[in-house]
Structure 1
Amino acid sequence: MELFLGLSLCFFFFFGLRWWFATRYTTKKITGDINERQYTVLQPILSGDPRLEEDLRGNLEQTTEMLFLWLVDKSDSVAQTVTQTILKEATYAARVKVVLLDDVPQEVNPKVYKLKQVMTQITTPYFIVLDDDSVFNRARLNEMKQYEALTEDFIVTGIPYNFGQTGMWSKLVAAFVNSNSLLTYFPMAYVHANRTINGMFYISRTELFQRLAVFETIQYELCDDLAVAAFLTKHKVQIIQSQIPCNVRNTVVQPQKYVLLMKRWLLFASIYMKTFPSLALFFLVVLPAFLPGLLLFVSCFLGWQYLLGTVGLFGVKALLLRGYRNQFFGVNERISAIGYEVLNDSWLPFLFLYTLVTPPIIQWRNKKIKVTDGKIRYV
């Protein structure tokens, strides 16, 4: 019983600590208004998600002068059809350029391969890298105004939020993302220990990436977000964790796809932990991630009352975090989000275990990749 009580107190202590750090980091009021003509959005596009057209339109609908470069494989006829359909609207066609690219060479990161092809085509002072399933918040993008005044080199990263999900497995993925984003990115930034970026959405000066040839240098790295951050850190580039939300949707309809996606993310997280180990990472990310599993393990031996109590602890945490997300992102999540977060906290330990005992191989597109040293190694 003493062990259960101690773990429970630790669970809420670290939850409260991360919450306090996150809210302290986000107290600053953001003012200003960016000039859209100074920004170009780079979007590597790959068909397969049923919401592709909707998400691509989502960013265009929020902007009036911002430029877009859509990077599409020549062999991806579906993606070409989707983009052509959208660009039938003249107001969009005037701001969007579709770049058709050859298939990605072996051992090269597909996303980075596309990005490096067009860096020399960017004429605006700033560029935004945005995944094709991501939609930024235009009003909150005005936070960039304060960073434009900086004289030193920087990269700005957004805060992810997974929204609009249908189906159990997609909602579980959303629960994983949403239960971790605010309490991971912001606390690490508050203690000045943020060493990576949100690869779905980041912004920097065009001249910086052209001068350092960033994408050419990291093209053989598996985790492009970590590789960008690590490379820029070596060159004394400041990593800025912004409060700009990035809405993303992962459509997962099968349990096997859910397990494979989670395994991929957990393996990527292990690469980050090996690359940038620190006390802050241990106490603000690693330990809080393992405490739910320890609580479940202990409560299973103590009896059903303790197991019920553990689920109750998860529920209280999920309820509080739902309120925080509603306030920060300006959303109104369904009550069911609490249940999915509890399920995520309960199942995550088993996914950790599965990831540890199975070969470090992930499915990426139609190829299998062995995750060992962070390089792309096909099997």
Structure 2
Amino acid sequence: MTALFACVAVVYVLGMAARMALAARWFARSEPLSAAHAKVTVMIPVVSGDPALQACLRANLDNAPDATFLLMVESDDGEARRITADLARQTCDVLVVPPPATGENPKVAKLACALPHVATPLFAVLDDDTVLPPGAISEAVAALGTEPAKGGDLVTGLPVYETDGGFFTRLLAAFVNGSVLITYPVGALLGEQRTLNGMFYLGRTDDLRGLGGFEAIRGDLTDDYAMARLYLDAGRLLVQSRVVHPVRTTVTGFRHHVSVMRRWMIFARRYLRENPSPFTLGLIGGTTLAPLVLIGLACATGGWALALVVVLLAAKAVVLRRMRSTLMGSHEDPSQVPLEMLADVLTPLHMATTVFRPSAMRWRNRQIRMVGERITYE
């Protein structure tokens, strides 16, 4: 048992060190770009329920006064309609759309309704809990490039979750912040970028329309992965930019936390199943499963082994916190370190829950069940 524990520990250390080194290398190679300006319509699918919703939307309007904002709300979402009606008095338009029908992704259905209203050369998609800092759109435009032959076709950013709030809000932030830096940039560096961060991405409007628009992915469960496939299958280039955007998500309690993590793990499981490369299964999957495996082996090995696992998890969390501060400008309280350690141990358990009822999940205010590849609502 000691030999097996030592073997898994070495694999974890080497794998995590490799991910950190590759992330640092990506940042070293992708130098900041000078801001570029173009007319952009930012489409934000809005769903009520989060106390920070209005503040997030207002912050985006304030931070990007030159952009055109189009907010989409469902006709039966009274609270979202009230909030967006107040904001519409500023520089944004509101589009009221019908609730998603059976077979439709709720986010993509809104975007499909909005795209015909986009009159600018560029479009951006932004989640309603995401805040773009001042200048972020200009940075994304620069990463896209002014000419398709000399740049990319779809640019995405790097989310960093804000860590203020209750225990489960901070635990969710610890999970995301503890993985994003060593996942998206590493995939981009290794040429394994087969999905994107769906919280924010930007591209050319004519390109998207030429690929069939959002109608082409209206029935896909994982909208970010489907969007990436739409572009990659057409031979287009995804660009991982250095744009860092805060995300504010309020997690109300244990059940809410488990619900969000379960949905994300269902998405991740589908992605891993369809992309079984050494990068996804080995470097990402292996280092994700290792903490829980190490704890199980340590319990059978002895107290010294358990202490070593704690040291390894703490070292990973401390080093990544420093890297996020240096590379992403993130400033997190040291109390996030033990939460990141806990999140690393719990993640395999969240993944394990997808074995039971893998087709059922909660998405904001809707209960979804997959019947084959078809989205249905309960």
TM-score range, shorter chain: over 0.9
Which residue number corresponds to residue 5 of structure 2? 4
The answer to whether structure 1 residue 51 and structure 2 residue 52 are counterparts is: yes
Residue 208 of structure 1 and its aligned partner are, at CA, apart by: 0.8
Which residue number corresponds to residue 87 of structure 2? 86
* Counterparts of 2:295 and 2:60, CA distance in 1: 42
Q: Which of structure 1's runs of 4+ aligned residues deviate more than 4 A?
A: 371-374
Residue 255 of structure 1 and its aligned partner are, at CA, apart by: 0.6
Residue 140 of structure 1 and its aligned partner are, at CA, apart by: 4.2
Contact 2:161 2:177 in 1 (8 A): yes
* Counterparts of 1:70 and 1:142, CA distance in 2: 20
- RMSD (Å) for aligned C-alpha atoms: 1.7
Which of 142, 147, 151 in structure 1 is aligned with 2:148? 151
The C-alpha deviation readout for 1:189-210, integer Å capped at 9, x for no partner, is: 1010110011111111000111
Larger deviation, residues 184-193 vs 25-34: 25-34
Which residue number corresponds to residue 211 of structure 1? 210
* Counterparts of 2:144 and 2:359, CA distance in 1: 39
Q: 1:355 to 1:146 in 2, by over 3 A?
A: closer
Q: Determine what percentage of the aligned residue pairs are the same residue.
A: 31
* Counterparts of 1:75 and 1:171, CA distance in 2: 31
1:170-209 pair list within 5 angstroms? 170-209=169-208
SS at match of 1:296: helix
Residue 9 of structure 1 and its aligned partner are, at CA, apart by: 1.7
Residue 322 of structure 1 and its aligned partner are, at CA, apart by: 0.5
Which residue number corresponds to residue 341 of structure 1? 340
1:260-279 pair list within 5 angstroms? 260-279=259-278
- TM-score with structure 1 length normalisation? 0.93
Residue 258 of structure 1 and its aligned partner are, at CA, apart by: 1.0
Aligned residue identity for 2:221: L
Contact 1:165 1:174 in 2 (8 A): no
Which residue number corresponds to residue 138 of structure 1? 134
Residue 24 of structure 1 and its aligned partner are, at CA, apart by: 0.9
Which residue number corresponds to residue 68 of structure 2? 67
Residue 233 of structure 1 and its aligned partner are, at CA, apart by: 1.2
The answer to whether structure 1 residue 30 and structure 2 residue 39 are counterparts is: no
Residue 102 of structure 1 and its aligned partner are, at CA, apart by: 1.7
Contact 2:143 2:155 in 1 (8 A): no
Q: 1:354 to 1:370 in 2, by over 3 A?
A: same
Residue 212 of structure 1 and its aligned partner are, at CA, apart by: 1.6
* Unaligned stretches of 5+ residues in structure 1: none
- TM-score with structure 2 length normalisation? 0.94
* Counterparts of 1:15 and 1:314, CA distance in 2: 10
Residue 52 of structure 1 and its aligned partner are, at CA, apart by: 0.6
Contact 2:115 2:213 in 1 (8 A): no
The C-alpha deviation readout for 1:146-192, integer Å capped at 9, x for no partner, is: 42234246111111111143111111111110011010001111010
Residue 276 of structure 1 and its aligned partner are, at CA, apart by: 2.2
Residue 72 of structure 1 and its aligned partner are, at CA, apart by: 1.1
Which residue number corresponds to residue 123 of structure 2? 127
Q: 1:170 to 1:111 in 2, by over 3 A?
A: same
Residue 334 of structure 1 and its aligned partner are, at CA, apart by: 0.4
Q: 1:307 to 1:358 in 2, by over 3 A?
A: farther
The answer to whether structure 1 residue 96 and structure 2 residue 92 are counterparts is: yes
* Counterparts of 1:237 and 1:187, CA distance in 2: 20
* Unaligned stretches of 5+ residues in structure 2: none
